């Protein structure tokens, strides 16, 4: 019984996460039919609810573009379908020919995949359920436009919180980065090449989490653009958006760092004793960055934490003679620049915020 309850609870949580999009699609389908029949005066506005549902069903962050693609796709499909079916009639080979020609026309017009698929599906409907005698092609294009616009209107009037998905996906991405930093720190501290290899393997699978984070930010940006009640969230969302590219670079630099740390451990190079502590401080700064972003605060605390950690990342403290060790130390500073950029600094500001590589004075040379 416990397993059944857990499964039911899991499915309910999954439904709750999609309840708003489902409600939006149902409302948009009904409203688009109502508008097309009562306002536009069409008796069978078949394409209106279809366009509304497709508009709401496609990946968020692309709906404005998809409305245009839907209308263009319907126009091509309906136009080609109406002309050909009027000339050659309806049947299996006619349907195949109509779909092939409609999709070919869309491709030759330099349309995307959505336009080509919509052209093909529209041609099928024209050739089967809605032959030319059932209504003009222009009416169907208008219905598609009505459906797409109603879908956008529903999104604007009943929007999701643009920060909800950003918080969730940001937690995953920042978690990958902190796990990598702490993992390399532990591997270096314990001189364990197996642990370092495990961290590197995990880092190589982190791109999916980053892609989902980027999609979440694009989704939030679209919602914050078209939904007036979410406009006040744009500043908070902008802070998240400012972290996307730097966090991507930080993960890439961590892959290089982990790979060279693994090589150093296997070759018996002596890595600096202070290195694990520096990496842990970076990890704590990333945790603080995640918390500040979730609270909607300017990430000043994370910025200061990275600067504090970077004070140890100087040549006279890190040292190192082996090739892999020198690469690791270079990546330590590169990660610091990435993290400072994630807090809102430009690349030049982030580089200037780091301490010099060597001590001032004496015989030490300046960088």
- At residue 363 the predicted structure's pLDDT band, cuts being 50, 70 and 90, is very low
State the pLDDT at residue 19. Answer: 76
Residue 356 in contact with residue 367, Cβ under 8 Å?
Answer: yes
Q: What is the mean pLDDT of residues 133-137?
A: 55
Task: Give residue-wise pLDDT tens across range 136-188.
Answer: 567 777 887 888 888 888 877 877 777 887 888 899 999 999 999 999 999 99
- Enumerate the CATH 1.20.58 domain ranges in the chain, comma separated: 162-353
Where residue 80 falls among pLDDT bands split at 50, 70, 90? confident
Angle between helices 234-267 and 193-203 (to 10 degrees): 140
Q: What is the pLDDT of residues 224-270, one digit of tens each?
A: 887 787 888 888 888 999 999 999 999 999 999 999 999 989 988 88
Q: How far is CA 259 from CA 26, 47, 188, 189, 208, in A?
A: 50, 54, 12, 16, 20
Q: Would you state the pLDDT for residue 256?
A: 93
State residue 136's pLDDT score: 57
Collapse the DSSP code of 256 into the 3-class scheme (helix H, G, I; strand E, B; otherwise coil) and give the result: helix
Q: Does 60 or 14 have the greater pLDDT score?
A: 14
CA-CA-CA-CA torsion sign (214, 298, 234, 25): positive
Q: What confidence tens digit (pLDDT) does each residue in 292-348 have?
A: 998 888 999 999 999 988 877 665 455 556 677 778 878 888 999 999 999 999 999
Dist CA 167 CA 173 (whole Å): 10
pTM, full prediction? 0.68
Q: Which CATH class is domain 162-353?
A: mainly alpha
Distance between CA atoms of residues 103 and 118, nearest Å: 8
């Amino acid at each position: 019984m416990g397993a059944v309850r857990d499964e039911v609870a899991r499915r309910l949580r999954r439904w709750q996460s999609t309840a708003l999009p489902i409600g939006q699609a149902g409302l948009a389908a009904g409203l688009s039919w109502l508008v097309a029949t009562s306002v536009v005066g069409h008796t069978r506005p078949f394409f209106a609810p279809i366009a509304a549902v497709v508009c709401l069903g496609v990946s968020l962050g692309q709906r404005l573009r998809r409305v245009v693609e839907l209308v263009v796709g319907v126009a091509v499909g309906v136009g080609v379908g109406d002309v050909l079916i009027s000339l050659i009639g309806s049947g299996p080979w006619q349907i195949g020919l109509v779909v092939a020609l409609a999709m070919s026309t869309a491709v030759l017009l330099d349309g995307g995949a959505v336009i080509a698929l919509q052209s093909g599906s529209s041609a099928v409907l024209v050739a089967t359920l809605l032959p030319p005698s059932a209504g003009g092609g222009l009416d169907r294009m208008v219905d598609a436009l009505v459906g797409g616009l109603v879908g956008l209107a529903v999104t604007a009037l009943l929007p999701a919180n643009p920060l909800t998905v950003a918080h969730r996906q940001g937690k995953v991405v920042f978690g990958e980065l902190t796990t990598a930093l702490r993992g390399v720190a532990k591997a270096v501290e314990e001189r364990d090449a197996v642990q370092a290899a495990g961290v590197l393997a995990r880092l190589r699978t982190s791109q999916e989490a980053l892609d989902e984070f980027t999609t979440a930010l694009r989704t939030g940006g679209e919602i914050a653009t078209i939904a007036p009640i979410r406009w006040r969230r744009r500043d908070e969302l902008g802070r998240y958006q400012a972290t996307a590219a730097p966090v991507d670079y930080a993960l890439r630099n961590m892959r290089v760092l982990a790979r060279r740390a693994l090589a150093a451990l296997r070759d018996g190079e002596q890595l600096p004793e202070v290195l694990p502590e520096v990496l842990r401080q970076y990890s704590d700064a990333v945790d603080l960055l995640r918390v500040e972003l979730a609270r909607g605060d300017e990430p000043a605390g994370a910025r200061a934490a990275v600067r504090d950690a970077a004070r140890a990342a100087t040549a006279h403290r890190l040292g190192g003679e082996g090739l892999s060790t020198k690469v690791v130390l270079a990546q330590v500073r590169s990660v610091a620049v990435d993290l400072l950029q994630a807090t809102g600094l430009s690349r030049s500001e982030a580089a200037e915020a780091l301490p010099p590589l060597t001590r001032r004075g004496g015989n030490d040379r300046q960088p």
